[in-house]
Amino acid sequence: MKVTELLRFARERGEPIFSFEFFPPKTEEGVRQLYETVEALRPLGPAFVSVTYGAGGSTRQRTLELVTRLKRETEVEAMAHVTCVGASREEIAAVLDEVAAAGVQNVLALRGDPPRGAKDFQPHPDGFRYASELVAFIRSQPERWRFCIGAGAYPEGHPETPDLVRDLANLKAKVDAGVDFLVTQLFFDNQAHFRFVDRARAAGIGVPILPGIMPFTNVDQAERFTAMCGAVIPQPLRAAMAARRDDPDGALQLGVAYASLQCAELLRRGVPGIHFYTLNRSPSSRAIVAALRASEPWRQGG
């Protein structure tokens, strides 16, 4: 089922959707654990799970294998990440054909990160420079590919485009090319998300926007990811993290508690769902979703 249909059905029920992102494990044991994780999530009713590419498209084949198996062997909808990195148009078309042949109806179209060790993104000579070009390519053959297309969004601006006006123009170009919904990069400041949504709507971007939340499990991890994606850690949270830097259990508890509060506020304010960056560690996300389903903050209003 397409993500847009999942969102529509959820809206008709007056409920949000919850989705989870994983990256391809490097070992067969890791793959086994991933499937156990997806099975453990099923009682919470995940709308879909997504599987990333590694940096530079390094896990492309494993990503395709995982998405195919998830679609065929579980009752959870799957979404494949597709990036422009290191691939020609012909190679990307082959990936899309394989995803479509597996019955997967949803793709997240991304430019992608440069390969490890590379400073800047360099497009393939016969590839795409921007995600908007990838989206337009998919839409150019509607009889061949009938995907529901998602794309990334940056509430605090893309790290390569700190100018928020220019970043929003780039986002509008992606949506105009044929994007059906957006998933944001992780953030820790809900107000940044609300301001971003207001700017997007004012710019004529009307597609659903799913906020991306990462329940961090240790302080170094949170700082590393925010440095990579340009997200800001609010000062009160930064102080709380500093006090727990050498307390693994305390840091984990803080990550779960803070993400729970973030999600509750976002849902009270009417977001259509939450996309969790699990880092292949689902207990925190499972605990948060279980608590949210029990308390139903979306029925309380904001």
Neighbours of 128 (CB within 10 A): 23
Q: Cα separation of 151 and 82, whole Å?
A: 10
Q: How far apart are the first and last CA of the chain?
A: 30
DSSP result, 93-142: HHHHHHHHHTT--EEEEE--PPPTT-SS----TTS-SSHHHHHHHHHT-T
And the tokens for 3? 């993500």
Identify whether the C-beta of residue 131 lies closer than 8 Å to the C-beta of residue 158: no
Q: Which residue has the tokens 């809206």?
A: 11
- Per the CB < 8 A criterion, the answer to whether 197 and 209 are in contact is yes
Catalytic: which of 5, 12, 15, 21? Answer: 21
DSSP character for 57? G
Residue type at 195 in one-letter notation: R
Residue 130 to residue 32: CA distance in whole angstroms: 34
Phi, psi (rounded to 5 degrees) for 123: -70, 155
With b for 16 or more beta-carbon neighbours within 10 A and e for fewer, the 63-84 pattern comes to bbbbbbbbbeebebbbbbbbbb
| 90 in active site | no
Please, what's the b/e burial string for 6-21 (b: 16 or more CB within 10 A of its CB; e: otherwise)? bbeebeeeebbbbbbb
Q: What are the distances in angstroms from CA 111 to CA 45, 68, 92, 126, 185?
A: 30, 22, 12, 14, 14
Q: Give catalytic residues, as residue numbers.
A: 21
